[in-house]
Amino acid sequence: MKKLVVSVASIMKIGLIIAIILYQKPTTITQLHPDQTIDEQENQESLNDAEKPKTELLQPIHIDDPITYSLQNDELNITFDKGSNWITVPVEKDQLFDGEYNGNKRELIEVSYVLTQNRAAFLYSDGMDWDNKRILLTYSLDQGKTWKESVVTKPFPAMRFRKVDFLNDKFGYVIISGGRTMSQEFSTVFLTHDGGESWEETTNSGVTRLISDGGFIDETTGFLSFGTINPEEPDLYVTQDAGNTWTEAKVNIPAEYKEIFVQAEVPVKEGGYLAVLINQGPNGDYKGGKVKGKFISKDNGKTWEFQVEVNPNETEG
């Protein structure tokens, strides 16, 4: 009998402890806004969820290319397999357009990056001061498994024109301009001989007109083309010593094409000579404004002679 009483007392004691614990456990109460019903609050919560930014499913910017990119969700992602797998590039999207640029930000600036099977490289700037930027190149040589960042130059004014390219595993160039005032600006060229790890500035061309294009065709021969606002004739400069000196090329425009073919593009090697297309600039209206003049040089870019008109749909060999 005594054991029974003890057992009952123990059970009652345990029950009392459990009751105390449950009583002290805080109860979560949903606070309603004054004059707001439960249904109204649930509707408000649904609206709040709908306003939260949703992550978009990434779509390649060039759907037919296996190697391409996306700027969705305010970040740069690249793919090497038509979007089956994506790699995030460690660069802020806004930095890719930093400077004097008012164009489309749904696509990268056309010549500001390199994206191939063996190299992904993106030219951009950072810094809060408009006249004191760092010009940087972030790049990967293993399809985004690892990334490196190199400083092309600092300080530099906010960029307008920007271009990067590599001719082989080691040699590449960067052409940038900044500090524009009306139709004048500062432009310069940097070369790398170690795949982008370090950069050396070439001798300045001394030209302050707005640069329209430029590039190198080998490790010693390069070109700069100037004139973007109402050009009247080509303004093409050439170096044959890797940028140590720049000289103005002589472009012999036939009389019938004066003030028609006015803006030189980047020359290319073609057989045993060089070829360049000279377009009509932003205001050309000759045959619709799209026809270009093809000129050739047999002295590695110093002088150019007219060869033929080129229609926009013709493929250059």
pLDDT, tens digit (0-9, with 9 covering 90-100), for 145-174: 999 999 999 999 999 999 999 999 999 999
Q: Which two tokens stand for residue 200?
A: 């050396």
Regions in the chain scoring below 70 on pLDDT: 1-53, 315-317
User: Residue 2's pLDDT is what?
Assistant: 39
> Which domains, ranges and CATH numbers included, belong to the chain?
68-201 (2.120.10.10)
User: Residue 43's pLDDT is what?
Assistant: 57
User: Residue 39's pLDDT is what?
Assistant: 55
User: Residue 281's pLDDT is what?
Assistant: 96
User: Residue 205's pLDDT is what?
Assistant: 98
Q: Which residues, other chains included, contact 138 with Cβ-Cβ below 8 Å and sequence gap of 6+? A: 89, 90, 91, 121, 122, 124, 147, 148, 149
User: Residue 174's pLDDT is what?
Assistant: 98
Q: What's the pTM value of the predicted model, to 2 decimals?
A: 0.82
